[in-house]
Amino acid sequence: MATDPSTAAAPLTGSPTEPVPPAPSGRRPNPRLEQYKRTWFFLRRNTLALIGLGIIVMLVLIALYAITQPIPWNGLPECTASNNQVVKFTETGLPGGTSWSITINGVTSSTSGNNVTFSLASGPAYKFTVGNVTGYHASPASGTVNVAGAPITEKITFIAGGAVSGSSSGAASPGSSASLPSCSVCTYPVGTPVPGPNCYQTPKNVPGVIAPTVSLHPLTLGALPMGSLALQPDIPYFYNVYNGMLRGTDYSLLISFAIVIVGAFVGLFLGAVSGFFGGAVDETIMRLVDIFLSIPQLLFVIIVIAVVSTTYPGGLFGLSDLDTRVLLLISAFMIVWWPYYARIVRGQVLVVREQKYVEAARASGAGKGRIVMKHIVPNSMYPVFIQMSLDVGAIPILIGTLVFLGFTIWPTPYFPEWGTIAAFGTSDVIGQFLIGCEAGICVIPWWQMVFPGLALFLFAISVNFLSDGLRDALDPRLRR
């Protein structure tokens, strides 16, 4: 404050120097800290809000652990692509629907289609034999495949009227000493028992559908705690839902929190400026808010990702394709999300700026920036917290919605993200169900839908509980 020289020159008249009260021995209580303490006091009495908070903390811890885990996209988590190779046998010459079989490494697989596919560990040479087909002669009837480096396609030609071939003892000729790789999740010919540890058989017509191995009484996880997710209907590869969910915690939480926090910051800033300054600034920002609120959210996200990923398939700013898409997803959602916060904050600021303490700050000469940053923004925050905690649970669901609609968000289809897994699982359940039961085997892969759906539900409902508790704790009008 500027001092008037005339009053400064006249000391000891009037009462310019009142004795300053001695500073209290303890620190002066910080009013904002007191507010947080009060909030915690009310939140602590709300059981549901506490449960929600606990679940969120637990999920964050899981996410921190999951960063260390391998990313299970594109097939098998343990039997890596470098370890296994696809060996494909195609036949020609048989009439459609005739059953034929291939035996390799002691494992027989039969089909009535044109192809038999095996997945074998790289390295050794495997012997194979072709099973008998009445009235046909196979060429070659047996042979060797060298599994190394690249997928192999072997052609088998059946000639009608030939001698019975492929000696009946063919299945009993293990040949090499190689065995199937002993990994916790393994691939195997469709519909055959697999001799190997931790390998699971899938039903004949629904390859890659394995029920969860988790057991509750003696608590063991097993190899596939949450079952499998079939990658494609015709190849026997599948996806470990548990690994996907674990790693998905990471991506889901990162993306949701990033969107909400960035969006809230932008909205908070613009809303505060708009509400405080009013006039033309307010009009401009509020028209911008109206414009962005009118754009359909999901469509905008779709357009942004589609346009940028088509234009720059290699990624932007030297980032990888995946990182670019995550960045795009976050920024696209953020662009359509900030208007909600801006509107909420503006409404709150309009109330707060008329309060006595803001007037007092202005009277004591505080600048506009200081009033906004130190007085108005901190006191307009609480509806933002409530809205943030509500919104954060909706984002994995929205991503799942996009994936379910068939839009390609991720570079790989089975990206480990909760919404994505839930969407694929759900469409797969409906697909499996509609295909129906064939040959007496009837499997509805409920786990593909239930576990990821449960994760989405738990996350969203716990943030809802927390938001409800926060609302009760922070808004004194509702506490009466």
Residue whose entry in the numeric block shows the structure tokens 């795009």: 328
Instruction: For 143, list phi and psi in degrees, rounded to 5.
Output: 180, -165
393 touches other proteins (CB under 8 A): yes
The answer to the question of residue 423 lying near other proteins (CB under 8 A) is yes
Considering the complex, state which of residue 10 and residue 295 has its C-beta at the smaller distance from other proteins. 295
Least distance from C-beta 66 to other proteins, angstroms?
Answer: 21
- Please pick, from the candidates 43, 281, 429, 443, the single residue that binds other proteins as defined by CB under 8 A: 429
Tell me how far the alpha carbon of residue 212 is from its chain's centroid: 20
Q: Which of 193, 407, 383, 179 is nearest to 272 (CA)?
A: 383
Judge contact between 156 and 138, C-beta under 8 A. Answer: yes
Nearer to other proteins, 34 or 438 (CB): 438
Q: Which of 11, 218, 406, 440 binds other proteins (CB under 8 A)?
A: 406
Quick one: 360 or 405, whose CB is closer to other proteins? 405
CA distance 166 to 193: 21
Q: Does residue 457 bind other proteins (CB under 8 A)? A: yes
Q: How far is the CB of 398 from other proteins (least distance, A)?
A: 9
Cα-to-chain-centroid distance, residue 343: 29
According to the binding rule CB under 8 A, does residue 478 interact with other proteins?
Answer: yes
Comparing CB distances to other proteins, the nearer of 100 and 237 is 237
The span from the first CA to the last CA of the chain, in angstroms, equals: 43
Q: How many residues bind other proteins (CB under 8 A)?
A: 58
Q: What is the rounded CA–CA span in Å between residue 48 and residue 440?
A: 46
- Does residue 304 belong to the site contacting other proteins (CB under 8 A)? yes
Q: Per-residue contact track with other proteins, 265 to 294, x per CB under 8 A?
A: ----------------------xx-xx-xx
Write the single-letter amino acid at 337.
W
Closest approach of other proteins to the CB of residue 479, in Å: 11
Please state, as a whole number, how many other Cβ atoms lie within 10 Å of the Cβ of residue 351: 11
- Closest distance between other proteins and the C-beta of residue 267, in Å? 15
Q: With binding defined as CB under 8 A, does residue 45 bind other proteins?
A: no
Helix runs in 177-296, H state only: 241-277, 279-294
Instruction: Find, among 223, 207, 213, 194, the residue nearest to 120 by Cα.
Output: 194
Q: Which residues inside 306-325 make contact with other proteins, applying CB under 8 A?
A: 306-308, 310-314
Find the shortest distance in angstroms from Cβ 378 to other proteins.
Answer: 24
Query: What distance in Å separates the CA atoms of residue 306 and residue 429, rounded to the nearest whole number?
Result: 28
**Beta-ladder partners of 118:** 87
* Rounded least distance, CB 402 to other proteins, Å: 8
If one asks whether residue 302 binds other proteins (CB under 8 A), the answer comes out as yes
